[in-house]
Structure 1
Amino acid sequence: MKIASIAKSILAGLAAGAAAAVTAVQDNVITTGEGVTIVLAVLGAWGITYAIPNRPKTNA
């Protein structure tokens, strides 16, 4: 397991969670539904990004 694949999925999860959190905090209150949306955004980004492999390096 390479660090690059883990790092890109963690960063994607943080970005998705931050985007969902910024949207949820617009009214200064985070409801249960918004919290669930933030968690699902993070988990979805982790799963999708981790499942897609990095492009193989070429010797060019």
Structure 2
Amino acid sequence: MKIASAAKSLIAGIAAGSAAAITAVQDNVLTTGEGVTIALAVLGAWGITYAVPNKQNNTGI
């Protein structure tokens, strides 16, 4: 596991979770379904982002 891949997926999870949370609490109430949606957004972002490899540097630098 490379640090760049883990950091990339961590940031993606935070971004997805915060976007879902902001949308969920627009009415000042967080329901169980909205909590599940936030958790699934974070987990989905972690999994998808971690699975996609970083672009390889082929410039020889």
TM-score using structure 1 length: 0.96
Unaligned runs of 5+ in 2: none
Report the Cα distance in structure 1 between the residues aligned to 2:25 and 2:58, rounded to whole angstroms. 44
The 5 A counterparts of 1:33-48 are 33-48=33-48
SS in structure 2 of the partner of residue 57 of structure 1: coil
Give the percent of matched residue pairs that are identical in Structure 1 and Structure 2: 75
1:55, CA displacement in angstroms?
0.5
Regions of 4+ moved over 3 Å: none
* CA distances 1:2-30 after superposition (whole Å, capped 9, x unpaired): 10000000000000000000000100000
The number of residue pairs the alignment matches comes to: 60
TM-score using structure 2 length: 0.94
The one-letter code sitting in structure 1 at the alignment partner of 2:10 is I
Unaligned runs of 5+ in 1: none
Report the Cα distance in structure 1 between the residues aligned to 2:40 and 2:29, rounded to whole angstroms. 18
1:58, CA displacement in angstroms?
1.7
Q: CA RMSD in A?
A: 0.9
1:59, CA displacement in angstroms?
1.8
